[in-house]
Amino acid sequence: GRIPEELFDIQRLKTIDLDSNQFIGTLSTNIGKLTVLRQLFLNNNKINGPIPNEIGNCSSLIAWGIHNNALSGEIPYTIGALAHSFAIDLSNNFLTGSIPAAISNMADLAFLRLNENELTGTLPSNLWSLNKLQELLLSSNKLTGLIPPHLGNTSSIERLTLEDNQLTNDVPLSLCEHFGKKEAFLSSDCDPGALFQINCDCCDKCYGPLSSKVRQTSCPSTELRVVIKREVLSEFWSARVLRNSPSWLLSDGLNRAILRGGPYLGAGSCSGTNCDSDYKVCAASSECYTFSSNLNVENPTIDPTFEIYLDNNYVNQTEENIIRSDRSFAFRFGNCGSAPICGKEGHIGTHERKVFDKLVNISGVSLSSSHTGKDSIEMEAACWMFNTDTRKMDPFDTYFLYQRYVVILLFYKTNGNYWFNNSNYLSQAHECDWFGIHCDENKLITRINLSHNNLSGVLFPELGELGHLKVLNLGDNALQGSVPAEISNML
């Protein structure tokens, strides 16, 4: 039910903790009556609507969180009056508008979590005047513009997340200098191929279409490992090797980087096997890969050794698959021949093969007939895309390819022909126009509501690829089995 209004008449209240319940409705404007309230915790409920302006009257608040609800509207500028607040968590809601500049008035603020919302606008330049700020989480919003060059002036900050936004410039040198001096964490959209890619030489984690969120489960198809082996005898040679190591690149069948390294990896001093570097990425067992490296012309005797493993199996480099030049070498490995796709031969370089390889990356062995002796449900969904769907998906636009495939798979896996309402499913309309699918202005699925719709069957791991999904409501159906662990990949 709703939070009773009478609660706000108890004006001596100092703590309200209603975390992890089922409260609904909006947050009352009468909360402004609680002028001695010090702690307010309403996390993990179903509270919707705006944060009332009257929150600014709670002048004694030091810690408050309304995380994981359905708040909407803008963050009120009146929160600037909460001068004593040191911790605010408004993450995982539907808040819009810009970050109010008035936050800079909160001199005691140490923890600010605004991630997983729909905030827009630029980063307020005066936000970095908060000299007690330790944690600032801004990931998964729609923030634009530049990263302020004086961001690194906030000497106390220890954790900063900027990924999954639309920021456009490089991470400033001053910020890298700050994070290079202490045990801290910095993340941004610095993954190769990110839609709004920025350069960051000091980020602890890079995000983007090629990495998405950190995968919490094993790879669906196969895992690729690149091991860079170096043996260094002194700190002097360590630094020299790292500076002069050759650049290397692991590319998929689209000639798109999925792993890369060098020339300077920032590993600091090392000795012996401590200089080895191990890189891993999920890949498709059906795909043909290319590994390339420029040769170290300046110091040819200290080039590292590259070892590549496909599902822990060492990939031999033979003269037949190596391409050499004066300054570089490359070799291909994996499935570089044809592959059966929906009754046809899918040859390297064709549109169908490129799309198929990307689908294998998330469905693995299920996307074949060999393991069951007949076409799997995954193959049935893929064949509908190849043979019937006129919306020819772009294999380079991996996220939207996965999004349409997952919704098609949802129909097949939960017996969509027997749903009460399956309007537009398996039609040529955009999946955002199919019943129960809700998207934002960028055509990214943010909500799925198919409750009370006679779904049966089981949930499936590929649902974890919907990285922008915030609401999944499949209640009051006849689904069985366990919730796939891959759902955690959305987090």
Going by pLDDT thresholds of 50, 70 and 90, the confidence category of residue 476 is: very high
363-397: pLDDT as tens digits? 987 776 444 445 689 999 999 999 999 988 888 78
Q: Does domain 340-490 have CATH number 1.10.3720.10?
A: no
At residue 250, the pLDDT reads 80
Neighbours of 411 (CB within 10 A): 18
Cα Rg of the chain (Å, integer): 26
Which residue, among 134, 97, 18, has the nearest Cα to 65 in the 3D structure?
18
- Please tell me what DSSP assigns to residue 234: S
Q: What is the mean pLDDT of residues 395-405?
A: 89
pLDDT of 236 > 80? The answer is no
Question: Residue for token digits 């009468």?
Answer: 30
What phi-psi label fits residue 59: left (phi over 0), alpha (psi between -120 and 50 degrees) or beta?
A: alpha
Confidence grade of residue 241 (pLDDT, cut at 50, 70, 90) = very low
Cα dist from 437 to 187, 283, 448, whole Å: 30, 28, 5
What pLDDT is recorded for position 263? 39
Among residues of the chain, what percentage have pLDDT more than 70?
Answer: 78
Q: Could you tell me the pTM of the whole model?
A: 0.55
- In this prediction, residue 300 carries a pLDDT of 41
Confidence class for position 340, pLDDT limits 50, 70, 90: confident
Q: In this predicted structure, what is the pLDDT of residue 271?
A: 47
pLDDT in tens, 252-271: 887 776 776 553 333 334 44
Q: pLDDT at position 419, please?
A: 96
End-to-end CA distance of the chain: 28
Q: In the predicted model, what is the mean pLDDT of the chain?
A: 80
Helix (H) or strand (E) holding 354, with range, is helix 351-363
More confident position, 291 or 6: 6
pLDDT recorded at residue 199:
80
Per-residue confidence (pLDDT) for residue 421, from 0 to 100: 95
Give the whole-angstrom CA distance, residue 306 versus residue 249: 11
pLDDT of residue 460: 93
* Tens-place pLDDT, residues 137-160: 998 888 998 887 666 566 688 888
Higher pLDDT, 408 or 290: 408
Boundaries of every domain in the chain: 340-490
Those residues whose C-beta lies under 8 Å from the C-beta of residue 113, and which sit 6 or more positions away, are 65, 67, 88, 89, 90, 91, 135, 137
Cis peptide leading into 263, omega within 30 of 0?
A: yes
93's CB contacts (< 8 A; 6+ apart) are: 66, 67, 68, 69, 70, 71, 72, 116, 117
Give residue 231's pLDDT. 47
pLDDT digits (tens, 9 = 90+) for 70-123: 899 999 999 999 999 999 999 989 899 999 999 989 989 999 999 989 999 998
Top-confidence residue, 433 or 200: 433
Summarised one tens digit per residue, pLDDT across range 185-225 is: 888 888 755 667 788 878 877 775 444 444 557 788 888 88
* pLDDT tens for each residue of 15-58: 999 988 889 999 999 999 999 999 999 998 889 999 999 999 99
pLDDT band at 298 (very low <50, low <70, confident <90, very high): very low
In this prediction, residue 228 carries a pLDDT of: 65
Lowest mean pLDDT among 216-225, 279-288, 364-373, 415-424: 364-373
> 433: which DSSP letter?
G
Strands 135-137 and 111-113: parallel
Nearest to 195 by CA among 433, 444, 390, 464: 444
For residue 342, which of 332, 350, 352, 351 has the smallest C-alpha distance? 352
> What DSSP state is assigned to residue 244?
H
Say how far residue 340 (Cα) sits from the centre of its chain. Answer: 32
pLDDT of amino acid 346: 87
Which distant-in-sequence residues (6+ apart) come within 8 Å of 30 by Cβ?
Answer: 5, 8, 9, 54
Q: Report the range of poorest mean pLDDT among 187-196, 334-343, 408-417, 478-487.
A: 187-196
Quick one: average pLDDT of 307-311?
Answer: 75
- Pick the range with the lowest mean pLDDT from 252-266, 292-306, 410-424: 292-306
How high is the pLDDT of residue 183? 67
Q: How many Cβ atoms from other residues are within 10 Å of residue 280's Cβ?
A: 14
Residue 356 buriedness (CB in 10 A; 0-12 / 13-18 / 19+): buried
> Averaged over 315-342, what is the pLDDT?
69
Percent of the chain with pLDDT over 90: 37
* CA separation, residue 336 to residues 285, 339, 366, 382 (Å): 11, 9, 20, 21
